[in-house]
Amino acid sequence: MVKYFSTRGGGSPVSASEAVLKGLAEDGGLFFPDHIPPLTKSLRELAEMSYQDVAYEVMKPFLSDYTEEELKHCIKNAYDAKFDTEVIAPLVYADGAYYLELFHGATIAFKDMALSILPHLMITAAKKNQIQNDIVILTATSGDTGKAALAGFADVKGTKIIVFYPKNGVSPIQEKQMLTQKGDNTLVVGIHGNFDDAQNGVKKIFGDQELSKLMAENGHQFSSANSINIGRLVPQVVYYVYSYVKLLKEGKLSDKEPVNVVVPTGNFGNILAAYFAKNMGLPIAKLICASNENRVLFDFFRTGTYDRNRSFVLTSSPSMDILISSNLERLIYLIAECDAEKNKELMTQLSTSGKYEITVNMQEKLQDFYGGYADEAETADMIASLYQDCGYVIDPHTAVAACVYKKYKEETADETKTIIASTASPYKFTRSVMKALGKDGGEPDDFVLADRLRELSGVSIPEAVEGIRRAPLLHDTVCEKEEMADVVKRYLGI
């Protein structure tokens, strides 16, 4: 049975269901499995399975205290008709790479892949652990996690969800998706600040022992829907395994043929899931980490120094506008040979000086990774060229990945078959996409541009966009970053 430890060494080991419930370890560390279990079925066996069946086989060893019935029930409720394609995560071949479309869920972003199942995993975990308190989900979002978490937890009995987002740091459609969210248990709060401010504020609330005590006295306890929660990370491993075995079944790959994986990266959870898949036995050669102009990860992979002391850039790929990549801590812990003290020392340096440097020995263990970045002009050019050459329209985050992949091939001449994680629908970023295509006439309404994009691409407007076109705004709370804890207390009436 897999147990979970804090990356900073505090506390006792916990079960999977306890890790899902807690979200963050009490010492501020992230939960990490005592080992990464191997795949229990061969790739050929997995190739004959549905997405749901692959999900069970991949997640079962990680979530080892969930019964077969419990886990299959969670999967069945997560991956159903809310996805607009039967295969859940289709692959599209364009310009020499396979685009893994992870945006066919309820909120048209890859976060749906994990946040569709997290509420079910969490409620099941609460029952397993005889939790009587209401679970208060506290989340910071750079655009996509917020809406996906809200959609997953809305009106789920025994939960409340509070989402903080940077007031001027998300796309108009991302913001309207959140502000129109229904549900008596939902609260959306814009903060004056950037995503890192929101994320730091949430971590500070999690670490406030006095507040936790007050919460418990009033029948509440915190948990997280951010990618720091192991219940978010494990479901993300599934689609990398599924995409590989799907290509295997279609004859696009031969047995054990390696692939490269390119991931547009902000908080590091999505690419870490691919690394977990590799460690489970999936034949992944290179993990290509694609950054936008907030190139903190690019610099880290090139130099071994992580340094957030730099200007924060607002880009057309806002879900990657991040200077503190929380999930990188799990990789640091792993390459430090699970030395919690070493990891804690580096994380303390990050919080006090804003930077840390890994050892040469640790750096040598990053050979599986390649870091690259694309600036705003390159991102727009990639959207335009892919459409002109292939008739395929991608969003800015996916364009960052495609551009970095192009640079990687030019630099290395590596012809290994490649999967690019396509993390959001172009309809989520209509203005940026239409501007890149030279079709933005300056109209004030992004929904008019969505109609134009439909005509141009031939792809129907997703219900996630159509449904909010005229929906009323239901949330209007805005606060300073220092006021986040007060907002939480007011909402909970404590």
Q: Residues with catalytic annotation?
A: 111
Q: Is the dihedral of CA 26, 29, 30, 32 positive or negative?
A: negative
Distance between CA atoms of residues 154 and 333, nearest Å: 34
Q: How far apart are CA 112 and CA 82, in angstroms?
A: 10
Structural Rg of the chain based on CA atoms: 21
* DSSP code at position 429: G
Report whether 426 contacts 453 (CB < 8 A): yes
3-class secondary structure, 101: strand
CB of 421 closer than 8 Å to CB of 269: no
Cβ-contact 149, 111 below 8 angstroms: yes
Phi-psi region of 108 (alpha: psi -120 to 50; beta: other; left: phi over 0): left
351 backbone dihedrals φ, ψ, rounded to 5°: -75, -25
Query: Under 8 Å CB-to-CB from 56, ≥6 apart: which residues?
Result: 71, 72, 75
- Cα separation, 180 vs 358, in Å, equals 44
